[in-house]
């Protein structure tokens, strides 16, 4: 079960994953989106209500950090998720960084608005919704780039939420697809 704050690009991407034959055959992905524009603590609280349900193998929360002004209660959301056994795929500054990594490596700090603009310029979309089919063939490249970003942050001892740019979406993919 996946909980996210985003209304467009994250669900579009996850629905793209759901259509991949090997995932469609083996995994039931259920996406839950808060009906109002959420902050990270909202999906974590929603996920917490489902932890321990024997019908659910894993709960994931996908959310952004946002820069230059971070989402409120980020540390509280992370701590609550970790203490509740909820997996996190956090993108910093935003999910669009994950989308950028499908097209190119990006290792410099970036604010949310420039990340959204760069992401839109790379796939030529005009709004927030994406054509997930364009991203699916490039997801392993994005995962490799995100892993390199994490490795760099670990080496420089850069801690959350200052680990901009980064995306934990590769962890979600690994859970769905294995090492691949």
Residues 48-104: tens digit of each pLDDT: 999 989 999 999 999 999 999 999 999 999 999 999 999 999 999 999 999 999 999
Residues 141-180: tens digit of each pLDDT: 999 999 999 999 999 999 999 999 999 999 999 999 986 5
Q: What is the three-class DSSP state of 32?
A: strand
Q: Say if residues 58 and 81 touch (Cβ distance below 8 Å).
A: no
Q: Which domain holds residue 130?
A: 2-177
Residue/partner pairs of 18-21 with CB below 8 Å, 24 or more apart? 19/132, 19/133, 19/136, 20/136
Mean pLDDT of 40-53: 93
Name the pLDDT band for 37 (thresholds 50, 70, 90): low
Name the pLDDT band for 26 (thresholds 50, 70, 90): confident
Q: Say if residues 81 and 61 touch (Cβ distance below 8 Å).
A: yes
Residues 92-148: tens digit of each pLDDT: 999 999 999 999 999 999 999 999 999 999 999 998 899 999 999 999 999 999 999
Q: What is the pLDDT of residue 179?
A: 65
Q: Tokens at residue 138, please?
A: 């490039």
Please give the model's pTM, rounded to 2 decimal places.
Answer: 0.95
Number of domains present in the structure of the chain: 1
Q: Say if residues 160 and 90 touch (Cβ distance below 8 Å).
A: yes
């Amino acid at each position: 079960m996946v909980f996210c704050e985003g209304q467009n690009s994250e669900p579009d991407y996850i629905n793209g994953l759901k259509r991949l034959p090997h995932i469609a055959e083996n995994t039931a992905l259920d996406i839950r989106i808060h009906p109002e524009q959420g902050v990270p603590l909202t999906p974590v609280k929603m996920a917490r209500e489902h932890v321990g349900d024997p019908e659910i193998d894993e709960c994931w929360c996908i959310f952004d950090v946002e820069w230059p002004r971070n989402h409120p209660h980020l540390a509280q959301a992370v701590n609550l998720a970790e203490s509740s056994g909820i997996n996190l795929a956090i993108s910093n500054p935003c999910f669009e960084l994950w989308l950028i990594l499908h097209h190119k490596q990006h290792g410099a700090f970036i604010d949310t608005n420039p990340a959204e603009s760069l992401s839109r310029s790379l796939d030529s979309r005009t709004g927030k919704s994406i054509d997930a089919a364009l991203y699916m063939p490039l997801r392993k490249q994005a995962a490799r780039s995100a892993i390199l970003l994490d490795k760099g942050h670990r080496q420089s001892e850069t801690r959350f939420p200052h680990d901009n740019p980064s995306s934990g979406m590769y962890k979600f993919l690994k859970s769905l697809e294995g090492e691949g």
